[in-house]
Amino acid sequence: MFKFFDAHCHLTDTNIPEYVGCINNAAQMADWGAVINSANHPNIFGAIGVHPWYATNLPSDWDVQMCHLLCDNPELMIGEIGLHKGRTDAELQIPVFIRQMEIATELGRGVHVHCVGMWNTMLQILDSFGTRRPPFMLFHRYSGAITDIANIAERYNAFFSYRGDADAGRVCNTPRDRILVESDTDNVQNVITSARDVAAQGNMDTKTFVNNAIRMINHE
């Protein structure tokens, strides 16, 4: 059993301590191969996707390539995907996000979501999917409204991951069985600080973050 679990990282080196589990997210197509290889490690789970910062200059068959890799690798999740105000053109980001959500619902894969400054658009898009849902959604470094947390959690089987610098109000208002912690770096050891800080903010045991992560991944 892992002592810590990094719910969102971008590894450059898969030599990680045996007491840490993690979800290694791709940011762009160029990362997909390395993420898939990393997931051969027993402690590493992989997610491939196109991050909103990189939703430009994609080949016309990017989604077909993504589907093939997902079908060949049934454990693989989808991430990191999302919306980021002012980074790349929203007209480019939105269809790329929607397409990846469609793939997630069709193939039944959990998604890892980045959303900055576009929460209304995010919630409208999710709403437009009606009852079609990925098995779970992880909102990494959640920055949406505190008052939306309970609804999002319930509606989308959503989980929320934080670092130590997270707003204490968000941490305290996230259901205990839905909180994870992350480094959002290439060094999973940074998750130890995140776990201790978030546990202190929420008056929780760091083991809870590991249990929540395993439950999320296993769709329990």
What's the min distance (Å) between Cβ of 111 and Zn ion? 13
Identity of the residue, 184 or 197, whose beta carbon is nearer to Zn ion in the bound complex: 184
Q: How far apart are CA 128 and CA 156, in angstroms?
A: 13
Rounded alpha-carbon distances, angstroms, from residue 119 to 71, 122, 131, 175:
30, 5, 20, 20
Q: How far apart are CA 156 and CA 164, in angstroms?
A: 25
Residues that bind Zn ion (CB under 5 A): 80
What's the min distance (Å) between Cβ of 25 and Zn ion? 5
Contact 84, 118 (CB under 8 A): yes
DSSP class per residue in 56-68: SS--TTHHHHHHH
Identity of the residue, 163 or 178, whose beta carbon is nearer to Zn ion in the bound complex: 163
Rounded alpha-carbon distances, angstroms, from residue 64 to 32, 55, 71, 120, 187:
13, 15, 11, 29, 31
What's the min distance (Å) between Cβ of 147 and Zn ion? 25
Identity of the residue, 10 or 155, whose beta carbon is nearer to Zn ion in the bound complex: 10
What's the min distance (Å) between Cβ of 205 and Zn ion? 26
What's the min distance (Å) between Cβ of 80 and Zn ion? 5
Identity of the residue, 80 or 197, whose beta carbon is nearer to Zn ion in the bound complex: 80
- Residue, CB closest to Zn ion: 80
Identity of the residue, 74 or 86, whose beta carbon is nearer to Zn ion in the bound complex: 86
**Integer-rounded Cα radius of gyration of the chain:** 16
